[in-house]
A = this chain, B = another copy of it.
Amino acid sequence: MRTGIATVCLSGTLREKMQACAIAGFDGIEIFEQDLVTSPLSPEDVRKMAADLGLTLDLYQPFRDFDSVPNELLAANLRRAEAKFRLMSRLGTDTMLVCSNVATASIDDDGLRAEQLAALAARAGDHSVKVAYEALAWGKYVNDYEHAHRLVETVDHPNLGTCLDSFHILSRDWDTAPIESFNPGKIFFVQVADAPKLSMDVLSWSRHYRVFPGEGQFELAKFLGHVVRAGYTGPVSLEVFNDVFRQSDVERTAVDAMRSLIWLEEQSAKWLDAHPSAEYGAGSAAPGRRRYPMELATLPQVAEPAGFNFAEVRAADTAGLETLLGQLGFTSNGRHRTKNVQLWTMGHARVIINEDSTQESRDAGAGAAPAISALGFDVESPVIAAARAQQLKAPAVPRKSQADEEIFQGFAAPDSTEIFLCQGRPDGTAAWTREFGEGLEAPAAGRTGEQGTVIDHVNLAQPWQHFDEAVLFYTSALALEPQPYAEVASPTGLVRSQVMLTRDRGVRLVLNLAPLIQRGGAASGTDAPAATGQRPGYQEHIAFAVDDLVATARAAKARGLDFLQIPANYYEDLDARFGLDPDFLATLRELNLLYDRDADGEFLHFYTATVGSVFFEMVERRGAYDGYGAPNAPVRHAVQYDHLHQRNPTT
Contacts and interface: CB of A to CB of B under 8 A. Distances in A.
Interface of A: 8, 11-13, 15-16, 33-34, 36-43, 45, 76, 79-80, 83-84, 87, 198-201, 204, 207-208, 243, 246-249, 252, 463-465, 487, 489, 491-494, 515-518, 520-522, 526-532, 565, 567-570, 572-573, 575-577, 579, 634-635, 637-639, 641-642, 645, 647, 649-650
A176 to B, nearest CB: 25
Contacts of A79: 576, 579
A7 to B, nearest CB: 11
Contact of A529 (B39, B246, B516): B516
Contacts of A34: 489, 634
A569 B201 contact: no
A575 B518 CA distance: 49
Given A529-B531, A567-B38, A573 B33 contact: yes
A576 B42 contact: no
A579 B491 CA distance: 56
Contacts of A208: 494
Given A199-B201, A208-B494, A248-B517, 4 more contacts: A13-B491, A38-B635, A199-B200, A243-B515
A243 B494 contact: yes
Contacts of A522: 11, 247
A527 B248 contact: yes
B528 A532 contact: yes
Contacts of A76: 579
Contacts of A12: 491-492, 641
Nearest to A576: B83
Contacts of A491: 11-13, 16
Contacts of A639: 38, 40
Given A198-B200, A575-B83, A577-B80, A13 B638 contact: yes
B41 A650 contact: yes
A38 B639 CA distance: 7
Given A37-B635, A41-B650, A11 B199 contact: no
Contacts of A565: 40
Instruction: Tell me which of A39, A487, A491, A572 has the highest count of chain B C-beta atoms within 10 A of its own C-beta.
Output: A491
Contacts of A641: 12-13
A422 B624 CA distance: 70
Which of A43, A527, A637 has the most C-beta atoms of chain B within 10 angstroms of its own C-beta? A527
Contacts of A16: 491
Contacts of A248: 517, 527
A87 B572 contact: yes
Contacts of A84: 576
Contacts of A199: 200-201, 204
Contacts of A576: 79-80, 83-84, 87
B520 A42 contact: no
B249 A11 contact: no
11 contacts: A11-B493, A37-B635, A38-B634, A39-B569, A41-B569, A83-B575, A84-B576, A243-B494, A247-B493, A528-B531, A529-B530
